[in-house]
Chains A and B, each alone.
Chain A
Amino acid sequence: DTEVTQTPKHLVMGMTNKKSLKCEQHMGHRAMYWYKQKAKKPPELMFVYSYEKLSINESVPSRFSPECPNSSLLNLHLHALQPEDSALYLCASSPSGDGYTFGSGTRLTVV
Chain B
Amino acid sequence: GENVEQHPSTLSVQEGDSAVIKCTYSDSASNYFPWYKQELGKGPQLIIDIRSNVGEKKDQRIAVTLNKTAKHFSLHITETQPEDSAVYFCAAGSSASKIIFGSGTRLSIRP
Interface centre among A98, A100, A102 (most CB of B within 10 A): A98
Q: Which of A41, A56, A101 contacts B98 (CB 8 A)?
A: A56
Closest to B87 in A: A40
Contact with B along A41-84 (1 / 0, CB 8 A): 11111001000000010000000000000000000000000000
Query: In the complex, what's the smallest C-beta–C-beta distance from A104 to chain B, in angstroms?
Result: 5
List A contacts of B43 (CB < 8 A).
4, 90, 92, 102-105
Residues of A within 8 A of B98 (CB): 45, 48, 56
Please determine whether A42 and B103 come into contact, CB atoms closer than 8 angstroms: yes
Binding site secondary structure of chain A: loop
Would A102 and B45 count as touching, CB distance under 8 A? yes
The chain A residue sitting closest to B89, CB to CB, is A42
A16 in contact (CB, < 8 A): no
A97 touches B44 (CB 8 A): no
Query: What are 20 pairs between A and B in contact, CB < 8 Å?
Result: A41-B103, A42-B89, A42-B101, A45-B98, A90-B43, A90-B44, A97-B32, A97-B96, A97-B97, A98-B32, A98-B95, A98-B99, A99-B34, A99-B49, A100-B44, A100-B99, A102-B43, A104-B43, A105-B42, A105-B43
**Interface residues, chain A, with chain B CB atoms under 8 Å away:** 4, 40-45, 48, 56, 90, 92, 96-105
A-B interface, 9 closest residue pairs, ranked by CB to CB distance from nearest: A102-B43, A97-B95, A42-B101, A98-B95, A104-B43, A102-B44, A98-B32, A105-B43, A90-B43
